[in-house]
Chains A and B, each alone.
Chain A
Amino acid sequence: MLNMMWTLYEAFFQVGLFAFGGGLAALPLIREQVVVIHGWLDMATFTDLVTIAEMTPGPIALNASTFVGTRVGGLPGAVIATLGCITPSLIIVLILARIYQQWKDKPAFQGVLSGLRPAAVALIASAGLSIAILAFFGPGNAASLQNLDPVAAGCFVVALFVLRKWKTSPILVMISTGVVWAGINYLIK
């Protein structure tokens, strides 16, 4: 049991250490560890895991860690896998946070940050566009007018308007959109 927990910790430590670019970049690494190396899940369950990790709130990599951890070792497994996944972050990012605190006002470091800031916005925009295509055209469909989901597009426009105009809580907007979209689709079918 203890051995198993150590293996689980080590597997997710590697995922946390090598996943650059967040949860979606972590998924291939998780597949490698969980399906290929250790055989904890078969490929079908892994596909379900991806769906569920994306469907549930929270960071995708942590959702995936908890899901695998639970299946391998119950609640302790979930805790161990999550810890494994965030240990590299804790070490590396704490060092970076110290460096940031000390060097923040140094011109050379300011230069690096002035290059990284626009890139950070670009990455968020790119991730947003991927979700937009999924929301408007459905999974696996080409982005064409024929595939456009008018209800989703309408919900998007209203939600964006509400967010810009009244600065409504994003959480409230996201959940309301889900309810409205599901409700309209239920009524028209």
Chain B
Amino acid sequence: MKEHKPSLMMLFLSVLKISAFTFGGGYVIVPLMRKRFAEELHWVTDEDMLNMIAIAQSAPGPIAVNSSIMLGYRLFSVKGALVSALGTSLPPLIVLTVVSMFYEAFKSNQVVAALMEGMRAGVTAVIADVVWTMAGNIFKKKKPMPIALMIAAFLAVWWLKVNIVLVLLACGLIGFLAGVLRQERKAQ
């Protein structure tokens, strides 16, 4: 993969492409942004990107838009945030305007339906791949707190259906307290 210097145009085109071709909504788009900007382009570090995704998820609104605003701001300040938000919002605007005009035909088209249904297996593989990498990075550091939080948060959301705002608040608070405790121990 050729290295590219950060540029507004490249930022715009990258988020545009991800938004235009990624099925499954924000939770699929955001890991792909990590892959693109941290793994392929190296514009931000992996941890930086994960921080931004974590903050984006804690704010209201579409996660993909929030993440692209965080990333755009990080790279090119307010200008970058606006460009990146535009790049993420344009594809749905165009695709859905067309689809909603022909939606009766679109909905009942069997070829479209079959492609969409089959793509779910691919979407699952893409998420499995990124979760593998992301969770692997957390396991590799061998710190007990993040590993325990990740497993607990997953069980809370998936199994107990706890509201994700509560889960994020709890994880942020636990992380904060653990940080304070570590500081105190260091001071002693």
Identify the A interface with B (CB < 8 A).
Answer: 16-26, 48, 51-63, 65-67, 70-71, 75, 78-79, 82, 85-86, 88-90, 92-94, 96-98, 100-101, 104, 107-108, 110-129, 131-132, 134-136, 152-153, 155-156, 159-160, 163-164, 170-171, 173-182, 185-186
Contact = CB atoms under 8 A, between A and B. Distances in A.
A124 B127 contact: yes
Given A57-B23, A108-B179, A114-B146, A20 B31 contact: no
Contacts of B158: 125-126, 129
B22 A164 contact: no
Contact of A174 (B23, B50, B55): B23
Interface in B164-187: 164-165, 167-168, 171-180, 182-183
A127 to B, nearest CB: 4
A94 B73 CA distance: 7
Contacts of B182: 107, 111
Which secondary structure characterizes the binding site on chain B?
helix
A146 B163 CA distance: 32
Contacts of A55: 23, 112, 116
A175 B135 contact: no
A86 B61 contact: yes
Contact of B175 (A54, A93, A115, A186): A115
A91 to B, nearest CB: 10
A23 B26 contact: yes
Given A116-B58, A156-B121, A89 B126 contact: no
B30 interface: yes
A131 to B, nearest CB: 5
Nearest to B55: A96
A52 B62 CA distance: 17
Nearest to B21: A171
B180 to A, nearest CB: 7
A160 B126 CA distance: 7
Given A52-B100, A96-B70, A123 B27 contact: yes
A160 to B, nearest CB: 4
A96 B73 CA distance: 10
A111 B178 contact: yes
Nearest to A115: B175
Given A111-B179, A160-B125, A97 B92 contact: no
A63 B25 CA distance: 9
11 contacts: A20-B59, A53-B96, A58-B92, A59-B26, A67-B96, A97-B69, A119-B168, A124-B30, A136-B121, A155-B118, A178-B119
A96 B129 CA distance: 29
A62 to B, nearest CB: 4
A113 B78 contact: no
Nearest to A55: B116
Interface string B110-140: 0110111111111111111111101100100
